Structure formats: C-alpha cells, structure tokens
Amino acid sequence: MSFTHTRIPCASDQANSAQINPQPLDTLQAAEGLLRTELNDSPLVSVVIPTYNRAKVVERALKTAFAQTYRNMEIIVVDDGSTDNTEAALTPFKDRIRYYYQKNQGASAARNRAIQEARGKYIAFLDSDDEWLPAKVEKQVALLESRPDLSFVACLATDEHRTYTGYDDYDKQFLKFLVQPFTQNMTRYVVRRECFEKHGLFDTSIHGPEDWELWLRLLQQGCLFGFVPDVLMIYTTSEDAISSRPYAMLAGERIIRERYVDTLPSFWQRAKVGCWFRARSYMNAAVCFHEEGKNLKSLGYMLSSVLISPLGPRNKLRLRVLASSICSPVLNTFRRQRGAR
C-alpha cells in the first residue's frame, strides 16, 4: 500500500464573517484564502508516529492529531514491522498521512526514519497508544516561536501528580535532567528539526531511555529546554511498552550513566549525582518487578536503592514498595499454610 500526504483540510470559521451576506462560492473562496494565509504564516510541523502492532489504538492517536487547532501539519506514520492489521487500520487515512513500513528495528529506528522523511521546522512526537488534547501543538509551537532560544519543549499529561520545578534555571538544566529528568514520554515533546541535524538522531543502541539520552545530549551541547505548564496529552501505559521491561531500562540507564554522569568535572559531583542516578534506576526497576509480582527481585533492587542513597529519591514510594515486597511473600506463605490445614 502506498500512502500519499495531504495536509489536513480545515477551513476557519472566521471566513464566514469576512463578507456581508456572501454567496456560497464567495464564502468558500474566502475560507480557502484565509486557510492558505494561515498555513503560509505558520511553520510546518511534522508529526511523528511510530507504531508496532497497535492496530487497535493507532486510529485513536491519529484522530487526536487531526483534531489539533494547529493546522499546518504533515503526519508521518512509520510501521515498525507490525504483524497485525495495522496497515489495514490505517487505510482509511491514506490521503491524510505519509505511511512507511520497515523491518522491525525498535521505536528509535522508527522515529529516526520519520525524522529523516520530515519536512517541517518542528518535529512533534505522538506515540501510537497516546492521545493529544486539541491545543497541544498550537501552544507548544507558540512557545517555540516566541522563544527562539529554546530547542525543545514538553507539556504536562493527565496522569500528573507532582509539580515540576527548577527547569527554568537554564544554567543547571543538564544536571537537573541527570538527577530528575522531565518525565520521559515522547508524546509530550516538540523539537526543532535543526537539533537533529546538528546533534544527531536517537541512539538505537539504547532501548528504553533513548529519549532521556537525547535530551541530555542536546543540553550538553548548549540547547535549552522549556515546557508549557498545561495538561495537553493523555498518557496510556501499554503492556508491551519498553518502560515495563526493567532489564532493558537498567541496561540503557547504565549507558547514560557512563556517557554523562561519569564525565562530570568534579569528583564529588560525580559521586553525588552517580549515587542519586543509581538509586533512581534501581527504584524504577524495583517498581517494575513489584508490578509483575516478582517480589524478591523488587525487594533486592529497592534495598539497593535505599542503601545507595538513603535520603532519596522519592522515599515515600520506596518505603511503600519495600514494605509491600516484604509483606507479600509473608502473606502468601501464611495463606498457603492455612490452605494446607
């Protein structure tokens, strides 16, 4: 199946008031003229959607892209070797997207392919199991257009339970992302395409925190990060998400630690940030194992996290998972003993 690209047709309601009692043909021409003016005045945004065996949800993600208040977009879907009916699910949208199929190589390779095919000034990422709220692209592009010094921006999601602070201290953004990166989810981000041209694409050797590595690389090269403090996306946790595979995440984070933490100029800085970094990695792995019901593995990684950095990060979460990992095996043993009587 060969898909072609057509920019999303959407006539502005303002065109209907452009003339007094216009004839139908005049109204249509006015609307088309206003739309052309809006598209010419606004930069092209390339929407990047990587997908793999997500036939049941990719349509939902696409529709939230079509519903954006920002109009001047091209939508690029890279099917990373799906074996379900993803291609058939995308058929109704063939006139509104550019579709590419490739052998399965992972999300990073799929995003890289889309970026290489992109023509826009900005790259907006949308994972195929997530959703955008209507004003997302408009608000983020407005921030980037008003702040030429910013290279990439993010937004908040509907699952937010904490406030993000300290990211407006541009001199410390690199360290901030090392210790506590702004939430890792690509659907939040819009990036200037020139960043990829200057500093490279996603590192395909990293599986899981590849977006984290990219942000650190950009910040290390002097790029600046900003975010719109509004909820503009809906995040969905999928069972097949790489973030649910703790060993892959640990391997990727080890590469990041060696690449960035171990090169900090001060010994004490390397020691402090390194401890916090490992504590966070082990904590996240413990949470994943706990959710999988692997309590002994969860207990081991959480104990390592606490021993490495007793004062953080996220002590309430660590203590809760630690207690649950200890109690669950005891309760299960007790239940088995009672059942055997």
Report CA-CA distances (Å) from 92 to 4, 86, 95.
Answer: 12, 11, 8
What CA dihedral angle connects 28, 33, 34 and 36, to 10 degrees? 120
Q: At what angle do helices 210-220 and 246-259 cross, to 10 degrees?
A: 10
Name the pTM for this structure. Answer: 0.80
> Is residue 21 pLDDT above 60, yes or no?
no
Please give the structure tokens belonging to residue 273: 């940030």
Q: Please state at what angle helix 295-308 crosses helix 267-291, rounded to 10 degrees.
A: 160
Nearest to 65 by CA among 40, 36, 97: 97
Q: What is the distance between the alpha carbons of residues 327 and 322, in angstroms, rounded to a whole number? A: 9
For residue 190, which of 138, 231, 265, 235 has the smallest C-alpha distance? 138
Residue 1 has a CB neighbour count (10 Å cut-off) of 9
Query: Of the segments 69-78, 309-318, 321-330, which one has the largest average pLDDT value?
Result: 69-78
The closest alpha carbon to 154, from 179, 175, 177, belongs to 177
**pLDDT reported for residue 258:** 94
Give the pLDDT band (50/70/90) at residue 166. Answer: confident
Mean pLDDT of 20-46: 56
> What DSSP designation does 123 have?
E
Residue 137 CB contacts under 8 Å (≥ 6 apart), including other chains: 45, 47, 68, 69, 70, 73, 124, 190
Question: Tell me: the pLDDT tens digits for 132-153?
Answer: 999 999 999 999 999 999 999 9
Angle between helices 295-308 and 315-340 (to 10 degrees): 150
Tokens of 300: 């081991």
Predicted local distance difference test score (pLDDT) of residue 328: 64
Cβ neighbours of residue 228 under 8 Å, at least 6 residues apart?
139, 140, 143, 153, 154, 155, 156
Contact 117, 213 (CB under 8 A): no
**What pLDDT, in 10s, does the model give residues 200-218?**
999 999 988 999 999 999 9
Encoded tokens for 168? 């407006």
Paired tokens of 200: 């490279």
**% of residues, the chain, pLDDT over 90:** 54
pLDDT band with cut points at 50, 70 and 90 for residue 315: low
3-state helix, strand, coil in the chain (%, to 5): 50, 15, 35
| Burial annotation 220-257 (CB, 10 A radius, 16+ → b, else e) | beebbbbbbeeebbbbbeeeeebeebbeebbebbebbb
- Cβ atoms of residues 69 and 134 within 8 Å: yes
Q: What is the pLDDT of residue 4?
A: 43
Look at residue 13 in the predicted model and tell me its pLDDT: 42
Query: Band of the pLDDT at 341, cuts 50, 70, 90?
Result: low
- Distance from the Cα of residue 140 to its chain's centroid: 14
Q: Which of the 8 DSSP states describes residue 294?
A: -
The contacts of residue 115 (CB under 8 Å, 6+ apart) are 46, 48, 123, 193, 196, 201
Question: What is the pLDDT, as a whole number, of residue 243?
Answer: 53
CB of 39 within 8 A of CB of 72? yes
Q: pLDDT-derived band of residue 321, with 50, 70 and 90 as boundaries?
A: confident
